[in-house]
Structure 1
Amino acid sequence: MEYALPQEAASAGRARRLTCAFLVRAHHRKTELTAERVDDAALVVSELVSNAVQHAHGGCRLRVEVSGDRVTVEVYDTSPVRPRVRKPSSERENGRGLAMVRQLTHRLEVVTARRGGKTVRAVLA
């Protein structure tokens, strides 16, 4: 599944709903996705899309793929700035998203796109 999302706060919620619907349909095709895996993927999508629309200039593209029990999430945006994982702090209201994503994923990587920008790829296994 692949969607273009506009640069607005509501995009993170829309991406979460689209991801859940897609993964539930994939689950009915005999994949091995648990409800917990769907919830984890939805949280990862929400955090990555939220970061993209907040920090990049323009919208983003969301891609979700299922292969067996592996879910791969990719979010492309036009900003060349690589996201940073910060140490969690109870004193800040934000900055915890990528740390959570890292905990929920088997692999998290940032790939510079040839046409500019970057793709943040998270693999849940």
Structure 2
Amino acid sequence: MPYDPASPRRARELTEAFLARPRRRTASVGDERADDAALVVSELVTNATRHGRSLCRLRLKVADDRVTVEVYDSNCALPRIGPLTEDGESGRGLAMVRSLAQHLDVTAAAAGGKTVRAVLAG
């Protein structure tokens, strides 16, 4: 995905289309999980382009009852959840991803950058 303000929207559209496709030999993704996955993608791509200030790579995987979302960007700075306030208008994305995902991790890439992975299950 390009370093562009429209990338999160485009990534969400691609995710929705990917998860709506029929799959052979794998469980289908229910509407609620598909909505959660699209939101997670939007938040992670937003973070990669806004805070990582780079293009990013999106990878989706559906296996059994899990949807795995991976977003790579070339910025080495690790994401962090900032303090949440009642009147704050930003800083909630990663906290939201963490609440929707069964598993969330960040892996530094050997050549630089990082991959943020969220696994949604059940």
TM-score, normalised relative to structure 2: 0.93
Q: Which position in structure 2 is the counterpart of 1:69?
A: 65
Of 75, 79, 84, the residue aligned with 2:75 is: 79
Q: Which position in structure 2 is the counterpart of 1:118?
A: 114
Taking only aligned residues, the RMSD between alpha carbons, in angstroms, comes to: 1.0
Structure 1 stretches of 4+ with a deviation exceeding 6 A read none
Q: Which position in structure 1 is the counterpart of 2:91?
A: 95
Please, which runs of 5 or more residues in structure 2 have no aligned partner?
none
1:16 matched to 2:49? no
Q: How do 1:22-41 and structure 2 match up within 5 A?
A: 22-25=18-21, 28-29=22-23, 31-41=27-37
8 Å Cα contact 1:16-1:46 kept in structure 2? yes
Distance in structure 2 (CA, Å) of the matches to 1:99 and 1:22: 25
Of 20, 30, 48, the residue aligned with 1:52 is: 48
Secondary structure in 2 aligned to 1:48?
A: helix
Identity rate, percent? 57
How many matched pairs? 119
Distance in structure 2 (CA, Å) of the matches to 1:49 and 1:108: 15
Q: Which position in structure 2 is the counterpart of 1:108?
A: 104
8 Å Cα contact 1:80-1:112 kept in structure 2? yes
Distance in structure 2 (CA, Å) of the matches to 1:32 and 1:88: 35
Secondary structure in 1 aligned to 2:57?
A: strand
Distance in structure 1 (CA, Å) of the matches to 2:64 and 2:100: 18
8 Å Cα contact 1:87-1:99 kept in structure 2? no
8 Å Cα contact 1:107-1:123 kept in structure 2? yes
1:69 deviates by 1.3
